Amino acid sequence: MTIGPFRGFQTPEPFDLQKRVILFYGPNGSGKTSFCEGLEFGLLGSVEEAETKRIDGHTYLANIHARRFEPPALRATDHQNREVAVASNPDTFRFCFIEKNRIDAFSRIAARPPTQRTELIATLFGMDKFNEFVGHFNESVDQQLVLTAAKQLVLTGKRNALATDQATVNGEAKALLDLAAEDASLALTHSVGMTYAGLRAFIGTAEAPGRLQQLEGILNAVPPAAIGLSRQGLLNAFEASRQGQ
């Protein structure tokens, strides 16, 4: 293929494409995309990117310096080892660019509307029919399903189990609310304004003793021993206390 002036190529550049596998690489702006579009134009007679953006082909394909473009020249070797010119033919060569255009479209998916994004993803992964099906998926899908008796029975059993589990979840939520109300009522029986958390703190635990544990400790403590106290001395102290009143 000889390409230029065309897009990023200002002057004609020859490329040998006779190998079975050809790899090309280069930094941004080196002409990789222009090369692919030159091959696309040479085989199809158009470039899909220009059509997608609705840009006139002469404007899109022209080299900015030369201000024009020349159709890339493609030549091939036939089965008799003769060199022949390759004429563009979309019907013959379209298959060569199907995957390229899919990937190009997918790489720009962020700039597409949500609906087109879904279509591009489905097309890229070959899920057109699946996308068409799930696009109309809603709660009335049961009417569209054709189920055998066995599958219908399994589906019904799973739906019943799901309904039972949902009822259990709803019941547990109500039980928790009732328990919270019971806790609040129990706290109010102790004193006005008392909360359940405050009541628990007052009662205390072995790890965090409360007021009850403190009082119980005082009551269970061994009284201090009295030293040098006699019966008469105790009576005199009692009498002095009584007279002091």
- pLDDT recorded at residue 209: 72
- pLDDT recorded at residue 212: 72
Q: Lowest mean pLDDT: which of 39-43, 94-98, 166-170, 190-194?
A: 94-98
Q: What are phi and psi of 209, to 5 degrees?
A: -60, 140
Domain ranges of the chain: 2-88, 102-136, 160-219
The 10s digit of each residue's pLDDT in 47-89 is 988 887 888 888 999 999 999 999 999 999 988 989 999 999 9
Query: What sign results for the dihedral spanned by CA atoms 24, 101, 40, 97?
Result: positive
Q: Lowest mean pLDDT: which of 102-106, 116-120, 127-131?
A: 127-131
Mean of all residue pLDDT scores within the chain: 81
The 10s digit of each residue's pLDDT in 165-204 is 888 888 888 888 888 888 888 888 878 888 878 877 777 7
Query: What sign results for the dihedral spanned by CA atoms 185, 190, 195, 199?
Result: negative
Average pLDDT of span 95-101:
72
Q: What are phi and psi of 126, to 5 degrees?
A: 65, 35
pTM greater than 0.75: no
The 10s digit of each residue's pLDDT in 108-123 is 666 677 777 777 666 6
